[in-house]
Amino acid sequence: MSKTSPAHQHIGIVYNPEKERARQESFRLKRWLKQRRVKSHSSVRVTPAMRQCRFVVALGGDGTVLRVARDVAAWNVPVLGVNVGRLGFLAATELPAMYRTLSRVLAGQGRQESRTLLSVRGVVRGKSFGPSLALNDCVVRSGPTGRVIQLQATIRDRLLAHYIGDGLIVSTPTGSTAYNLAASGPIVYPDLDVLLLSPICPHTLAQRPLVLPTFEIISVEVVRPSPAALLCLDGEVVHSLSSGDRIEIRRADEQVQLLMDPDRTYYQVLQSKLHWGGS
């Protein structure tokens, strides 16, 4: 990340209002930036003024980073996540090390990573929606009853498979360590240009996760006589689905720019957050 003189910097701060510590730290951060002649704008959500920011600091958990990243993706504004939550897998730094990391980023020493987004559109009860963006995943899953659902997946209008079970996950490499991992999908290095399709508790041992190229277009249809299903983007329920409803997932034209600590590798994040590779 190139160095910019302090007089020409403007930093956005978005904090999770449900986390008191995040709110308090946003005030401290504004004072810290002001002492360094860096302008800042703080809010509980992304605002139009942040379009001109050098980058946006997301104070909260992974949910806050996901929300901010989606909102600024079209502006190509980088996001620096600060973990004030439990896991913080997408965060560049933990709260105790925030000012050290920010000092390095402001000095032009940050590492910037481009992350794939999903573009999701579809037809629900005869009405079109989208496109909507997701950084982690798009999930079609069983509804409140918990009954199994039947789904038909096609790739560019050619049948891939029929799935009977709890649902399907289409995820990005960034989202490979989220719901995809819990469903026994693979961990994928975030720079790889692929999509992942993982069934959730399929009623056959023959159906396993697939790694697909990003030029593919995946369609998922709820097949009769399935009960109601749910469409979730990055963990948020966005639609209730009925038989005949159809969802289309592809790689988005936009990408998310994440700022990361230059001293911490992806493998170190796996080790510290998921205890991966431990004895």
Q: What is the pLDDT of residues 200-223, one digit of tens each?
A: 999 988 899 999 999 999 999 999
- Could you tell me if 211 and 196 are in contact, meaning their C-beta atoms sit under 8 angstroms apart? yes
Q: Active site includes 253? A: no
pLDDT at 2: 46
- Computed over every residue of the chain, the mean pLDDT equals 92
Exactly one of 62, 137, 245, 261 is catalytic; name it: 62
Q: In which residue are the tokens 């997701």 written?
A: 134
Q: Give the pLDDT confidence of 92-102 residue by residue, as tens digits.
A: 999 999 999 99
CA gap 236, 222 in Å, rounded: 19
Q: Into which CATH architecture does domain 6-110+261-274 fall?
A: 3-Layer(aba) Sandwich (3.40)
pLDDT at 3: 46
**Would you place residue 123 in the very low, low, confident or very high pLDDT band (cuts 50, 70, 90)?**
very high
85 vs 3, more confident: 85
pTM of the model: 0.91
Domain ranges of the chain: 6-110+261-274, 117-253
CA gap 251, 253 in Å, rounded: 7
- Could you tell me if 72 and 54 are in contact, meaning their C-beta atoms sit under 8 angstroms apart? no
pLDDT(4) > 70: no
Q: How many C-beta atoms surround the C-beta of residue 201 within 10 A? A: 13
Q: How many C-beta atoms surround the C-beta of residue 235 within 10 A? A: 15
Topology of the domain comprising 117-253: Tumour Suppressor Smad4 (2.60.200)
- Could you tell me if 56 and 9 are in contact, meaning their C-beta atoms sit under 8 angstroms apart? no
Residue 274 CB contacts under 8 Å (≥ 6 apart), including other chains: 89, 177
- Tell me phi and psi for residue 36, to 5 degrees: -105, 15
**Would you place residue 227 in the very low, low, confident or very high pLDDT band (cuts 50, 70, 90)?**
confident
185 vs 157, more confident: 185
Residue 120 CB contacts under 8 Å (≥ 6 apart), including other chains: 130, 131, 132, 133, 134, 138, 231, 233, 247, 248, 249
Nearest to 105 by CA among 89, 92, 87: 92
